[in-house]
Structure 1
Amino acid sequence: MLYTLIRKFLFSLDPETAHGLAMSGIDFLHKSRLACAMTPPVPSCPVNMMGLTFPNPVGLAAGLDKNAEHIDALAALGFGFIEVGTVTPRPQPGNPKPRMFRIPEKQAIINRMGFNNEGVDKLLANVAASQFARNGGILGINIGKNFDTPIEKAADDYLICLERVYTAASYVAVNISSPNTKNLRELQKDDALDALLASLKARQMQLADKHGKYVPLALKIAPDLEDVQIQSIADLLRQHRMDAVIATNTTLSREEVKGCPNAEETGGLSGAPVFERSTAVLKKLSAALAGEVPIIGVGGIMDGEQAAAKIEAGASLVQLYTGFIYRGPELVAEASAAAAKAIGKR
């Protein structure tokens, strides 16, 4: 009830303004030790994946805390893991505003942010200042390319970021599926993906030898994939021994929001309308991978039942983003309990 009132106020504001205010509010609640007032107890359900032990199966997806400025406050809300970014080698402003739009009647958001972030050095400084990772919390760092880096040189940006974040991350997520950076999704095609994964895995092994620490690599893919593309991606994930795959990012489809205000805005659609599409990709990917590469399920989780459905479709962990904006901290506990129950039935 409290979050419903807070959301009503936040939704009266421009989405980006509301986001900044909400993050400041979460920081205040954490620093004043009041976060527990808005956070139902989250059940413990350890999940072993990628050589890591997650205290519960529900994480925060990348995009909410792009610059890793709010890690400790977000972790206090009960997430089993936090993923920050997407971060690029150099700071960049992202796309022109306005670039985020709500569709409340569909519990959805359209964004065309364009990897707006303060660059990898600033992100690492923020990570170093947080307690979460130092105290054993699982922190994913999501990496991308700068908008002005030619697509044929995209691997250079990913390798720069991988090398820079390697020792600070519990795992590194490689974002090749945002629809808001020109031509980025071209990297999901066979030859481009094969070359990129080969480069990333080679550098990962070099860094593991250098630092005496193996940091897993996860690939984040789009929901707008044909069956043949899903099979091809699965084959390459196995071939290159990727540690995990995150399914999925936002969709370009507007089928579920036709006729709604803001539905024709360009960008990626997230929230309830993407659930079926995302889960269908997850299920097909799971079948194609046959258990060889674990999956993190994300996309349209608005309640505990949908979190459980992602697990039943083949995910080992799930992540929240838009559902967290619409439902607030109670969704973390609800999704964790439901996902844990689904895991227990396996």
Structure 2
Amino acid sequence: MIDSYPLFRPWLFSLDPEQAHNLTLSTLDRAQRWGLLPLLIDKAANDPRTMCGITVPNPVGLAAGLDKDGKHIDALGALGFGFLEIGTVTPKPQPGNPKPRMFRLSQAQAIINRMGFNNDGVDACVKRVRNSAYWQNGGIVGLNIGKNASTPIENAASDYVAAMEAVYEVASYITVNISSPNTQNLRALQGEDMLRSLLGSLHLAREALSDQHGVRKPLFLKIAPDLDQHDVKLIADLLLEFKIDAIIATNTTIARDAVQGLEFGEETGGLSGAPVRQASTVVIKNLKEYLGDAIPIIGVGGILSGKDAQEKVAAGASLVQLYSGLIYRGPKLISECVKALKSF
């Protein structure tokens, strides 16, 4: 299979990053509807893995953020991912932060974004998931939930509970996003007191939902790479206390050491791509040290090659997720990572 993405990338990179993002997804939608995607991509190897009672056809998933509203599920599912994570969705629709809010740092193979949970609201997303052929045919779709920007941080738990209630029926698993740097004060939820309160509320809500629906949906937590060992240990202890099923490590970073002096390097927002790879891997190693095999880890952050995916698994991850690497490498990265992990 000829990798055609490098032919199109210079043109895409000449566009505004958010415009290129939307154009790429709409083009994938058309190619999927016309049955062209199998001709354009390598078929990912079959390598089933089971985590938290969920069996995925391969260990390489889509990270949250690329498809915030579930508008492109069927096209993305056709690229060969083992599972998709949609969101972040919030209880009410919100426009996100003012544009421009996405910046490409090509020299560093990085992206800075300050999107701000722009989405159509959880109800619209749930409807799209239900209507997708991928979900209807048993594809694994995780829903990533957050709080609305207008909700005071002290009331955050009510937003997370409302979003969890809304997605519970359709979600293969639910991810609680407390680590985006683009919603004011959100990362404060990673502190001990606020996190204990939030996880306590979610634990009680999930028990009620499990009784109501007759099924216990796995609950994941997504954390930042900007945590020291003490913070990671604290979070690990709370995961065990509140019976959280898995942890996703990590989100974007607020550190700028790797992009100093580069155009857009000082833009506010979360930095993703190659510069976050090492920090993400360190957090995974620390989590594995504290959690052992008690709670599985999904590794994400700076995966731009099959070797990078192997690094995450070697550090302690059971599954991996991609986002920014796709922008620089294209869909070929998916099958490359699946092949790299098949014998790993």
TM > 0.5 fold call: yes
Paired residue type of 1:226: D
Tell me the secondary structure at the aligned position of residue 134 of structure 2.
coil
Q: Matched residues in 2 for 1:9 and 1:23: separation?
A: 15
CA displacement 1:11-55 (0-9 Å, x = unmatched): 110111111100011101111111012211211111110111011
Offset at 1:184? 0.2
Residue aligning to 2:339: 337
Q: Matched residues in 1 for 2:48 and 2:65: separation?
A: 25
Picking from 46, 62, 65, the partner of 1:63 is 65
Tell me the secondary structure at the aligned position of residue 90 of structure 1.
coil
Residue aligning to 2:96: 94
Paired residue type of 1:254: R
Q: Matched residues in 1 for 2:39 and 2:209: separation?
A: 42
1:224-303 equivalences under 5 Å are 224-303=226-305
Q: Matched residues in 1 for 2:27 and 2:259: separation?
A: 30
Residue aligning to 1:176: 178
Alignment gaps of 5+ in structure 1: none
1:32-47 equivalences under 5 Å are 32-47=34-49
Paired residue type of 1:292: A
Paired residue type of 2:342: A
Offset at 1:255? 0.7
Tell me the secondary structure at the aligned position of residue 334 of structure 2.
helix
Greater mean deviation of Cα atoms: 62-71 or 199-208 = 199-208
TM-score by length of 2: 0.98
> How big is the alpha-carbon RMSD for the aligned residues of Structure 1 and Structure 2?
0.7
CA displacement 1:283-329 (0-9 Å, x = unmatched): 11111111111000000000000001100100000000000111111
Following TM superposition, where does structure 1 have runs of at least 4 consecutive aligned residues deviating by more than 2 angstroms?
none
Paired residue type of 1:206: A
Tell me the secondary structure at the aligned position of residue 5 of structure 1.
helix
Q: Percent sequence identity over matched residues?
A: 57
Q: Matched residues in 2 for 1:38 and 1:190: separation?
A: 47
User: Is 1:313 the equivalent of 2:321?
Assistant: no
Residue aligning to 2:191: 189
Paired residue type of 1:323: G
Picking from 324, 327, 331, the partner of 2:326 is 324
CA displacement 1:154-208 (0-9 Å, x = unmatched): 0000000000000010000000000000000000001111111111111111101
CA displacement 1:44-98 (0-9 Å, x = unmatched): 1111101110110000000000000000100100000000000000000000100
Paired residue type of 1:75: G
User: Is 1:113 the equivalent of 2:89?
Assistant: no
Residue aligning to 2:169: 167
Q: Matched residues in 1 for 2:218 and 2:78: separation?
A: 24
Offset at 1:151? 0.2
CA displacement 1:236-272 (0-9 Å, x = unmatched): 0011110000000000001111111100000000000
CA displacement 1:119-153 (0-9 Å, x = unmatched): 01110111111011111110000000000100000
Q: Matched residues in 1 for 2:176 and 2:45: separation?
A: 29
CA displacement 1:83-121 (0-9 Å, x = unmatched): 000000000000010000000011100000000000011
